[in-house]
Amino acid sequence: MIQVLQERGLSFEIERVSPQRIQMWAWATGHFSSLPELELASTALLALWYEAFAFDQYDELVRKPMDAKWVVVSLDFLVQALGTGADCWVKAVELFTGYPKSPHAQLRHLEQDAREQFHLLKGLQQQAAECVMELCSAYGWDIPKDTSSYLAAQQQGNTTW
């Protein structure tokens, strides 16, 4: 089924979270001590968890043979997971900008990582949603809940950055 999407130009790839990024955030977490810093750390670690979860779901999707309905369900789930991960990165950036004088100010590379990951996850979310729409259109199915919610938010302009 994934080959069908690739033939239609609707392929995308989700990469595994790099050990370097995990180590970077874990190191910073070990140096945070205030409540806002700990909130930033927990938000970033949650975002990394969603990234890892999305990779696992994607990896299962491309490795296991599935019928079209299961592909749509899996892709719809990816739309939700990628969006939640992106939302966590938005919150992390907001926490950085909300506390500019805190000790983590010298760790602005973390803020840059959060911004980059937000944009990456939103792009992947869009690609997954396009695959869902293509398959639903091809089979005459209704667009599932998470993709439908994502599309409605896009049409209303409820997007960040």
Lowest average pLDDT, out of 6-15, 32-41, 78-87, goes to 6-15
pTM, rounded to two decimals: 0.88
pLDDT of residue 83: 97
Number of other CB atoms surrounding residue 120 within 10 Å: 17
Residue 124, pLDDT above cutoff 70:
yes
**Domain residue extents for the chain:** 19-155
**Band of residue 160 on the pLDDT scale cut at 50, 70, 90:** low
- Residue 5 vs residue 113, higher pLDDT: 113
Per-residue tokens: 107:
């760790």
pLDDT of residue 101: 61
- Residue 9 vs residue 13, higher pLDDT: 13
Any long-range contacts for 106-114 (C-beta under 8 Å, 24+ apart)?
A: 107/28, 109/24, 110/24, 110/25, 110/28, 110/44, 113/21, 113/24, 113/25, 114/44, 114/47, 114/89
Residue 9, pLDDT above cutoff 80:
no
| CA 106 – CA 115 distance, rounded (Å) | 16
Residue 8, pLDDT above cutoff 70:
no
| CA 149 – CA 143 distance, rounded (Å) | 10
Helices (H) and strands (E) in the chain, counts: 6, 0
